[in-house]
Amino acid sequence: MSNTKPIIGTFHDAITGETITRELTAEEISQLPKLETPPSNEE
Amino acid sequence: MAVKTFTTGEVLTSADTNTYLANSGLVYVTSTTATSGANISMNGCFSSTYRNYRVVISNLTTTGVAASSIRLRSGTTDATTSYYYNGTYMSYTSATINGYAGSNVGTWDPGIVVDATMGGTSFDFFNPYVAFVTSFNSFGCDPRTGGGGGRFSTGMHYANTSYDGFTWFSGSTITNATITVYGYRNP
Question: Cβ B41–A9 below 8 Å, yes or no?
Answer: yes
User: In which region does residue B82 sit, left (phi positive, over 0), alpha (psi from -120 to 50) or beta (all else)?
Assistant: left
pLDDT of residue A37: 74
Q: Which residue type is seen at B29?
A: V
| CATH classification number, B28-184, choose in 2.60.40, 1.10.3470, 3.40.50, 2.60.120 | 2.60.120
Dist. CA B68–CA B10, nearest whole Å: 50
pLDDT, tens digit, 9 for 90 and up, residues B125-147: 999 999 999 999 998 878 887 77
Nearest CA in chain B to A19: B32
Q: Are B110 and B121 in contact (CB under 8 A)?
A: yes
pLDDT, tens digit, 9 for 90 and up, residues B7-54: 899 888 898 888 877 777 899 999 999 999 999 999 999 999 999 999
pLDDT of residue B3: 62
Contact list, A31 vs chain B (CB under 8 Å): 78, 80
Q: Does A9 touch chain B (CB under 8 A)?
A: yes
Residue B49's Cβ-count burial label (10 Å; 0-12, 13-18, 19+) is exposed
Distance from CA of B111 to the nearest CA of A (A): 9
Each domain of chain B, given as residue ranges in start order, spans 28-184
Q: B170 phi and psi, to 5 degrees?
A: -70, -30
Dist. CA A34–CA B107, nearest whole Å: 9
Contact list, B171 vs chain A (CB under 8 Å): 33, 35-36
Q: Which residue type is seen at B149?
A: G
Question: Cβ A41–B90 below 8 Å, yes or no?
Answer: yes
